[in-house]
Structure 1
Amino acid sequence: MTHLTKRAAKAALLLALTVSLAGCGLPRSGPNKKEIFAGSVLREGDAFIVSVNDQVTRATAVQPALGFSSSFTTAGTLGSDTINAGDVLGLTIYENVESGLLSATGMNMSQLAEVQVDGDGFIFVPYAGRVKAAGNSPEAIRRIITEKLDSQTPDPQVMVTRVAGDGASVSLTGAISGQGVYPIERPTRTLSSMIARAGGVAIAPDIARIKVVRGNQVGEIWFNDLFSNPQNDIALRNGDRIFVEEDTRSYTALGATGTQSRVAFDSQELSALEAIAQVGGLNPALADPTGVFIMRNEPAEIAASVLGRSDLVGAQRMVYVLDLTEPNGMFMARDFIIRDSDTVYVTEAPFSQWSKTVSALTGVATSADSLNTLAGN
């Protein structure tokens, strides 16, 4: 085979491999900008593609609505002097005689150290019988017992104290240091004091959510809002169930970013710029900073506000575009709020694809040389 023939064979082989390579396509992390824009409703797709500006950031800055209803916030604290079913009382009775009804011989005082208020709200006192305790103050109970004993022993003197509990308790579960059932006592009548009594939350405060279930009512707030807004520090009621959980919101990062994965929120509010930083930023070897896309299914009312339309029905597929190279691009990314289940996708730069093509062709040429050498042998 002549030298010219060998060169022709090499060129033909290179051309064939190049065509084959072009048909197979180059490896990449996802669609390019042109392919995404082709999905616009203005072309052949079903998604609205919108460039982010100040109006868009305001219209889309929607966060989960958390808070307590007025039935929670207007409930007063449990009174410290009101006896309830389940309370434990201490009774001391002095009689103005040496041998009284209740006291031992030679003593004029008798003590009932722990008398529990039963489920119907009553206690039993010898010679006084059943006494209604629930709903009364210790002073009122003292008067009732005194009146009932007065006809049986001269000038009885009665003392009534609360030994334990307010007759009410709450349960604390979830991401809290000391899970369990706790009595509502004088120092723990409010939500914040009860959480402190249980050792505080066991997760980062920025992502802690507190849910309170009271009967068929449910209220939920961010842990930090418990302290920033005193109205959220609600008074507790018997049977309240308090559950502390970590924020379950997340977004998916794909394309030319430092990490491609599902990422949990690390704060109450997360901007597009923070979301990108959270996954290691843009890949400097691949990313196109003019092609940062946030994809989500947007409720009709928000989509209508963004697009200035009134004919939308149901959730709409929205693709928000950020160009970080614009003069205010970084500010737009800082102000645009990421929401639960968003997809943050960064396209690859055209230069990256060109580099891949060159590398692939270089590899093809090397392979062609090897094959040509083998053919020559």
Structure 2
Amino acid sequence: MELLRQTLEKIGNLYDNAMEESRNRVDNLIKPKGSLGKLEEIVVRLSGITGELFPKVDNKAVIVMAGDHGVYEEGVAPDPQILTAVQACNFPKGITGVCALAKQAKADVIAVDVGIAADLDEPRVINRKIKYGTNNMAKGPAMTREDAIKALEVGIEIATEEIKKGRNLLTTGEMGIGNTTPSAAIVSVLGGYDPCEIAGRGAGLPVERLVHKAKVIKRSIEVNKPDVKDGIDVLSKVGGFEIGAMAGVMLAGSANRIPVVVDGFIATAAALLACTIEPKVKNYLFASHASMEKGAARASKLLGLEPMLNMDMRLGEGTGAVLTFNLIEAAVYMNNEMITFEEAGIIRD
């Protein structure tokens, strides 16, 4: 709890003066004012985050958190649970979807076992296992409050270690069969939505099973009565270890003034938890893509950040966020490589 408290105390506001200076420079680059649209907004906010007129995003990492879910036993996912362990071991091998895209974006992938329901024979997956999966949230709390804090602190610790290595742009990925169910529960609770509006197919649940999935989520909320004003309580009642750890990465990024890109539906649920715990975290987040998962649009609207891309994706793992790394880096190149009218010797009225 002490690490979480210290991290929250470090999260401050954006640097207004740096944003004003950046805005002035961007407006005076040798182009029509505003003509590079959202790229301009990206670099201005990066300056607000870092306090630098020429921020850098050349040391990128994807932190993939993996964990299993007791609610799987309710039949809310189509795939065998062992796939969480199998796929977690594939991240260090560089053969998953996010690994392929991360290679193109020149980003490293770090895999962490926060709560997989099996022991892994892959030493390159960082072992920070809290338990062998969460409890079945349809029957009681997914985890204790103490374990929810542990999950957050695992994310803080892993992200802080990476930041100490010089990382200046982070995102979170996830692996956990069934994890769209707790994510939908989190979004339903924090947004006051009926689970029927949020529960989607996840990794391919048959359409005819969606009503059942929504009923499981609704029962989980009714059984646990999570406190909508307490993000840690929501995490402990209807969350997941990997979702909490992802939120922890976002808290650590904010505390250390490092931008964090939010991936799709599950990452947005984690971001909502982080922002419920500390609202200033939102200033340090960039939304990446509009996931095809059913509740993603409502989750993004609730977070209040507009996704940059619409690629009809719903893989997770951090894939959409890694694509967005390229746009953020493009914004930095715009800022670094273009000159201003004044530098070009052009005087404007």
Sort the TM-score into its range (normalised by shorter chain): under 0.3
**Structure with more of its chain in strand, by fraction:** 1
TM-score by structure 1 length? 0.18
From the CA coordinates, give the structure whose radius of gyration is larger: 1
TM-score by structure 2 length? 0.19
Ranked by relative contact order (alpha carbons within 8 Å, sequence separation 6 or more), the top structure is 2
